[in-house]
Structure 1
């Protein structure tokens, strides 16, 4: 099958896909009831289930997973003897953060400067639409040549492991010959890319307490131990002077020998301010894909506006630690907790609570599925060769699938190229990337069926 007819069909289907993505983006599906009502996620799951039924999927089910969230499953039977391909996306999204920093409402799809803006457009509601476009295009040109399973997760961003535990309890459900995880992205727009490694992640809450209650800083400041200052000190201990991650006992000197990321390109993609140095040592690729990275995600303390002259009795932080393949996330969690306890000053009381965890992942890029994807991407991107890169993020389900189905070939693609600004304000997707990646996926499914 050639790219031309499929590309024309996908192009004709883009207006429908845009309208569907706009509908999906309107659901404020942040899987944290403390921030958004849980019925937003439930409504998104129902919409996805209904869409799969409309597309001819059978056995469509809204799966209640052990973490209290819902994942949506559907089966599209293929020709007898055809291989089975599992297509993955997730509908839960990151919080919008500073809504005032968005140039348009975060939960309203807005077209601007040739891109579609809104929370989840690239990560990963757009990934679900990518799968749909590929299947619709194939159906318009003779049918889908493989059996397709679709799973759309409801708690990937929270890292609470609901779908992983559900899959382990129902190992037959997601069994497949190949898996396409539509939650990654191209190294940059126009360069078709598969992701070969994912860093794992551990997430901990840190509580520091020093006093029975806040005190007047004029009357007691200078001798009373300040919990916020103690927290700042312990968090600062997680980095070396050059900004490298420095968790006691955790190796941080590995190298990346694949596709490189120039400092100039990285500074532009990350929008680093002029005169501000990058953190860490080694190449940018070393730092992003081969070494651990700690990030303080948030601190509970009085905001500047409305703050009183007080010595704080308690303070809390949420800390993320990304770890590369070869490092066990559980062991990294123990090292992180031990480090935090060892470095808290002044005998302050400290409690460390695990909030989430996912193992790192490394794919086998020598498999037949990767050969089929390379051919498909080359055709969809007018002769541009497929690149293989790492990704600093985590997709915990990958390791679960690899353990359950060791013979399955797992590929990571998607729409989250650097301009998409996933997890930040003003997240967006490039419609041309959606078009080309949908064509590539359709060609992959056809080529993979032929190779089998």
Structure 2
């Protein structure tokens, strides 16, 4: 009987996937880049579009909510008597495209090729939004449990108003389980539940040595230029093996020591032949349970307008990934202390924070987690694995703090080949379909 019921749900999901895929294409076409002011109207347009799509499902209780930031969409289907409520979360804002000339196709036109759907936001995270829509549609808009939809519009800028939004709508958002479809699967065909995430702290550091530029020939060799001083400072962030050299940061070991072969890492990342990996310990330790630090931007004189002068000031943007078990406050304090104590030649240094998100440990345990495991195994044909991620999704800790008694399930439509945030982002459509089936089966199993 259970198997027959599962098959009925699976068939129903596949029945609504073509329409849902069309909706996903339409969502990709709207450039909802939350970090760019020129796209503020596009963010609003996606929110309004989603309200319309939810109303077409047959739900009347749907609206746009705000708490001083970008709009979010909140919708409800009430729980039948004695049934649990599940909150389905995804975000609809996307990253900037980068150099559009490097894309194989137009980033805001969804193009299907070789079983993947290419376009900005397909995998992160409009594909997750579409999974939620498909799961609800599979029941004719009347799921067998209570369902709350929360579709956010500012995750890509660190969800700055989410805590206020959760507080302002706490009663409406309270649920037995939260399904956050914004993480990554282990590989194509292999689902995963993410159980640990690193946090992030971005810092902009400025080094200044002069009040104005001076002739590099007249004074070079005596007066330090700011860019060289900055480069020497940045070099102190790692030891010779590439381990983070900032004292006082928490560092641990991954709970699940999954094998991550070097060949796979090289293929996924495009690491050039001869370039070595950095750091000690296992790959999953380095990516999931230890801090990492990267220089992700520089402000200095571009080569094309450079001249023979000593540069008076230069800036760098540093991204510190914070290990689970650490705090953003400790990590920022230790990073700033390191920069201030290691700047060479008495140069002036100043630091400002642009963004911070807390790390998370997400237990996968209890009866709802067990039902999720069974549902995903049925949908994918293999058991899901438990993974960590080096990426940062600060809002997961926000949900844990706001609803400490609930089960949080971190699921995914992304895979290691999806290139989220990068050029030619894409969604594996086979995995996307299985993700939709998994979610619908979970809702059905929780109602039994």
TM-score computed with the length of structure 1 as normaliser:
0.93
Cα distance, 1:310 vs. partner?
A: 3.3
Q: 1:223 to 1:37 in 2, by over 3 A?
A: farther
What residue in structure 2 maps to residue 435 of structure 1? 433
What residue in structure 2 maps to residue 333 of structure 1? 332
Q: 1:57 to 1:295 in 2, by over 3 A?
A: farther
What residue in structure 2 maps to residue 344 of structure 1? 343
What residue in structure 1 maps to residue 408 of structure 2? 410
Q: Which moved more, 1:125-134 or 1:160-169?
A: 160-169
Rounded to whole Å, the distance in 2 between the matches of 1:335 and 1:236 is 16
What residue in structure 2 maps to residue 161 of structure 1? 160
What whole-Å deviation, never above 9, does each CA across 1:340-385 have from its counterpart, x for those lacking one? 1111112222221111112111122121121111111111012x11
What residue ranges of structure 2 are gaps of 5+ in the alignment?
none
Preserved contact between residue 358 and residue 396 of structure 1 (Cα < 8 Å): yes
Cα distance, 1:336 vs. partner?
A: 0.8
Q: Does 1:8 align with 2:11?
A: yes
Rounded to whole Å, the distance in 1 between the matches of 2:352 and 2:389 is 26
Preserved contact between residue 10 and residue 133 of structure 1 (Cα < 8 Å): yes
What whole-Å deviation, never above 9, does each CA across 1:186-233 have from its counterpart, x for those lacking one? 100101211111111112222222222333433443333222222222
Q: 1:308 to 1:75 in 2, by over 3 A?
A: farther
What residue in structure 2 maps to residue 23 of structure 1? 26
The alignment partner of 1:38 has SS state of helix
Rounded to whole Å, the distance in 1 between the matches of 2:87 and 2:437 is 17
Q: Does 1:299 align with 2:302?
A: no
Rounded to whole Å, the distance in 1 between the matches of 2:153 and 2:132 is 17
Rounded to whole Å, the distance in 1 between the matches of 2:285 and 2:388 is 10
What whole-Å deviation, never above 9, does each CA across 1:122-155 have from its counterpart, x for those lacking one? 0111100011111111328xx4111111111111
Rounded to whole Å, the distance in 2 between the matches of 1:422 and 1:282 is 26
What residue ranges of structure 1 are gaps of 5+ in the alignment?
none
Cα distance, 1:431 vs. partner?
A: 0.8
Q: 1:212 to 1:438 in 2, by over 3 A?
A: same
Rounded to whole Å, the distance in 2 between the matches of 1:291 and 1:52 is 41
Cα distance, 1:255 vs. partner?
A: 4.7
Residue correspondence of structure 1 range 46-445 to structure 2 within 5 A: 46-66=48-68, 68-139=69-140, 143-252=142-251, 254-382=253-381, 384-445=382-443
Cα distance, 1:78 vs. partner?
A: 3.2
Cα distance, 1:253 vs. partner?
A: 5.2
What whole-Å deviation, never above 9, does each CA across 1:45-87 have from its counterpart, x for those lacking one? 2212222222233332222223x32222111223223211011
Rounded to whole Å, the distance in 2 between the matches of 1:247 and 1:190 is 38
Q: 1:75 to 1:306 in 2, by over 3 A?
A: same
Preserved contact between residue 241 and residue 279 of structure 2 (Cα < 8 Å): yes
Rounded to whole Å, the distance in 1 between the matches of 2:359 and 2:314 is 30
Rounded to whole Å, the distance in 1 between the matches of 2:39 and 2:410 is 31
Q: Indicate the RMSD between aligned Cα atoms, in angstroms.
A: 1.8
The alignment partner of 1:81 has SS state of coil
What residue in structure 1 maps to residue 35 of structure 2? 32
Rounded to whole Å, the distance in 2 between the matches of 1:3 and 1:215 is 74
The alignment partner of 1:48 has SS state of helix
Cα distance, 1:160 vs. partner?
A: 4.8
Q: Which moved more, 1:55-64 or 1:235-244?
A: 55-64
Rounded to whole Å, the distance in 2 between the matches of 1:405 and 1:318 is 34
Rounded to whole Å, the distance in 1 between the matches of 2:74 and 2:324 is 29
Kindly tell me the number of residue pairs found equivalent between the two proteins: 445
What whole-Å deviation, never above 9, does each CA across 1:134-182 have from its counterpart, x for those lacking one? 1111328xx4111111111111111152112221344223211000000
Cα distance, 1:448 vs. partner?
A: 1.8
Preserved contact between residue 381 and residue 436 of structure 1 (Cα < 8 Å): yes
